[in-house]
Amino acid sequence: MEPMTDDSWKSDPWLGVNPIDPAFRDDPHPLLRRLREYDPVNETPMGVWRVTRYDDVAYMLKEAPAGVRFRDGSAFGSFGVGMEGGPGEFILRQDPPDHTRIRKLMSQAFTPRAVERLRGRVQALVDDLLERAAARGEMDVIADLALPVPATLICEMMGVPLADRDRFTEWTAATTHLLAAAFAPPEVLERGLAAANELIAYFNDLIAARRRDLRDDILSDLIRAEEAGDRLSPSELVSQSIGLLIAGFETTIGLIGNGALLLAKHPDQYDALRADPGLAPSAVEECLRYDGPIILSVRITHQDIPLSGKVIPADKPVMCMLAAANRDPDHFADPDRFDIRREDNDNLAFGGGVHFCLGAHLARMEAQVALGGLARRFRRIEPKSDERVWGKSLFRVLGTLPIRCLS
């Protein structure tokens, strides 16, 4: 689809911001800026609303009477009929009280204290991966760093065999498209459903084996809760296992990959991080704000919601455009400037409210170690190509990022 020029986008029902347009995925920020300035709260041809201002997005995520389920109990872009234990039951697709019950059960493994205990393991893993790259003088950031770090850690945390990583990496990427099934082409939806069924079968087998050999890992803890009989149903056990595996590494690949590309394209910022490793936390926050892997989060209104001079009716899906909010000039000074020293960076990349990302602390720590490790180990990193090659995920996750590593 060719990008619209002049004012032709104003007559487009999507106002020039169509989620299935490849140009939107490649560089959504100019399109979102224009939409935010022209019509910050608007309804799409599909009856889905969009909000783009920081204050409106934050309100929808944190305060508005809204959730992730319609009045009839279905979720946005419903899928997976007959897929008991499928990703449709994952915590991200649940409202309270089920959401509250399940989140409380899983949260202990992802607290800041629990995550910090894993930093040494991540550091050792990153150091080893970067030494291998240094010996070659080049690397694919995705295959050689961004994927193995979070995939290894979530496998170890959950008790999933790392040897199976190549099998479920394809499945998890395909399954992410079910989160936007309403927009997915039939062939993409078919692949997503097939991948979800593969994951269900995989975890059914793994859970059956683990019941006979419970260990000190998240999967064993979930099994114990399911066997207690009052905290987790058998189908919820499979759903949370699949969801944690997907959430545990898919978007973190995007965070580390996109972050590495940003630093490579902004050598002054790379040099600042190299000179001051203590900037790693703020560098990660700026990567999340400036070009995070997740463009939007959907909420369903539970009652009529007045917002910026309009009224969004009850029981309507609302796209909270995180990427637009994170570059709102009314909230961030000079928002289109990439600045790892930016202060008060309260970006919305991980959502907000009761559905704030459970693994946010883990993703942040992994990215801090990975991106900080790149800057510490290499004097300069240079992309081999200006072309962005996207992976198979729904999210903005690069499929490959070849770079030269200059020691």
CA dist., res. 167 & res. 175, Å (int): 13
**Cα-based distances in Å from 83 to 86, 239, 329:** 5, 10, 44
- The confidence score (pLDDT) of residue 337 equals 98
Pair 53, 40: CB distance under 8 Å:
yes
Q: How far separated are the first and last CA of the chain, in Å rounded?
A: 41
- The confidence score (pLDDT) of residue 179 equals 81
Give buried/exposed letters for 255-265 (b at 16+ CB in 10 A, else e).
bbbbbbbbbbe
Domains and CATH numbers, the chain: 8-406 (1.10.630.10)
Pair 160, 172: CB distance under 8 Å:
no
Q: How confident is the model at residue 4 (pLDDT cuts 50, 70, 90)?
A: low
- Give per-residue pLDDT as tens, 353-403: 999 999 999 999 999 999 999 999 999 999 999 999 999 888 999 999 999
- The confidence score (pLDDT) of residue 144 equals 98
Pair 32, 324: CB distance under 8 Å:
yes
| pLDDT surpasses 80 at 84 | no
DSSP assignment of 135-190? HHTEEEHIIIIITHHHHHHHHHHHT--GGGHHHHHHHHHHHGGGGGTTTS-HHHHH
Which two tokens mark 192?
């997503």
Mean pLDDT (the chain) is 91
| pLDDT surpasses 60 at 83 | no
Which two tokens mark 227?
């066997």
Q: For residue 249, what are the contacts with CB-CB under 8 A and spacing of at least 6? A: 147, 150, 151, 153, 154, 172
Q: How confident is the model at residue 2 (pLDDT cuts 50, 70, 90)?
A: very low
- Is the pLDDT higher at 168 or at 141? 141
- The confidence score (pLDDT) of residue 325 equals 98
CA dist., res. 177 & res. 194, Å (int): 12
- Give per-residue pLDDT as tens, 296-330: 999 999 999 999 999 999 999 999 999 999 999 99
Query: Could you tell me what percent of the chain has a pLDDT over 90?
Result: 72
Q: How confident is the model at residue 47 (pLDDT cuts 50, 70, 90)?
A: very high
Sign of CA dihedral 304, 38, 397, 349: negative
| pLDDT surpasses 90 at 180 | no
Q: How confident is the model at residue 5 (pLDDT cuts 50, 70, 90)?
A: low
- Give per-residue pLDDT as tens, 181-201: 777 888 988 999 999 999 999
CA dist., res. 375 & res. 380, Å (int): 8
DSSP assignment of 352-374? -GGGS-TTHHHHHHHHHHHHHHH
CA dist., res. 264 & res. 269, Å (int): 9
Mean pLDDT on 324-340: 98
Q: How confident is the model at residue 214 (pLDDT cuts 50, 70, 90)?
A: very high
CA dist., res. 307 & res. 271, Å (int): 42
Mean pLDDT on 111-138: 96
- The confidence score (pLDDT) of residue 178 equals 84
CA dist., res. 284 & res. 237, Å (int): 32
DSSP state of 301: E
Query: Could you tell me what percent of the chain has a pLDDT over 70?
Result: 96
- The confidence score (pLDDT) of residue 81 equals 34
